[in-house]
Structure 1
């Protein structure tokens, strides 16, 4: 992760980022929109969020999907669609394997509710963007539903140090 990437992420978040490992995905505008974080914060505290959606526009788009009831809708589908449930279980195992390769946490916490619940579209979209299409079926749905959050250009303007939300 470059110093410039770290500065962009800090502007996106409005605070210094913690436990950064690297950029996990770049927005089509070229800036980070998902970062990978260490399974532990700098002080050793477990931090189960491996992929963090940092772009404020992408985050707002995920929030709109949550407000529109997509989590409840997709949660209901998990109970009736065995193929979707199997794909979501596989996404959970993939996520944990990636995280555990960095550091095994004392508990095998869920990510975004995986594998049984659809809890946080921000986490699921971050995982889908970082891992690529076809790894997390609910995350892929979230990313598709978020639209083109990058269309207005970069969310963090390096030359001014201000975020455009």
Structure 2
């Protein structure tokens, strides 16, 4: 698992620029892009108004999000969903990823829903959420998320995505 670090005021500003809006329910920076900026944040199980928010890890880097969107548009979700039905080892790894995700979320707060982001454990629904989980948890925890991260390429190669105001 990657090291979690509290969100600094400067990082909150970077994340807001990445998202194009103020971030909600931030807890920690869960992963840093090789450029040094946050690219995945950990969010609280509930938003500030108490609404359940089952997306524990949120992909904030717009370049990483665009790369995940390209994989979705290329049909990877459908392809990997079909593999879940025919590959017991992949399905078992994905089930384990779901259980790990729930354990991490439940350590913060148990929500009434046992669903997790990305469609785990039965569906491949959102590569953004699955890639965020894979980056936050580290390689080998979420097999579909690992595939997404690998397929996303080097989204950081052009340098930091969120430039300073006025730069």
TM-score past 0.5 threshold:
yes
* Structure 1 CA distance for aligned equivalents of residues 115 and 124 of structure 2: 14
Q: What secondary structure, in the 3-state scheme, does the structure 2 residue paired with 1:112 have?
A: helix
Is 2:77 the counterpart of 1:82? no
TM-score relative to the length of structure 2: 0.95
- C-alpha deviations, 1:105-139, integer Å up to 9, x for none? 01112320000000000000000000000000000
1:24: which partner in 2?
Answer: 30
User: Would the aligned equivalents of 2:55 and 2:116 in 1 still touch at CA under 8 Å?
Assistant: no
Match of 2:19 among 13, 17, 20: 13
* Structure 1 CA distance for aligned equivalents of residues 124 and 166 of structure 2: 38
Alpha-carbon RMSD: 0.8
**Would you identify which runs of 4 or more consecutive aligned residues in structure 1 move more than 6 Å?**
none
Match of 1:134 among 112, 122, 140: 140
Q: Quote how far apart the aligned CAs of 1:70 are.
A: 0.2
* 5+ residue gaps, structure 1: none
Equivalent pairs counted in the alignment come to: 161
* Structure 1 CA distance for aligned equivalents of residues 75 and 107 of structure 2: 34
User: Would the aligned equivalents of 2:98 and 2:121 in 1 still touch at CA under 8 Å?
Assistant: yes
Is 2:73 the counterpart of 1:70? no
Q: Quote how far apart the aligned CAs of 1:75 are.
A: 0.3
2:4: which partner in 1?
Answer: none
Match of 2:61 among 55, 58, 74: 55
2:100: which partner in 1?
Answer: 94
Q: What secondary structure, in the 3-state scheme, does the structure 2 residue paired with 1:22 have?
A: strand
Larger mean Cα displacement after TM superposition, 108-117 or 88-97 = 108-117
TM-score relative to the length of structure 1: 0.96
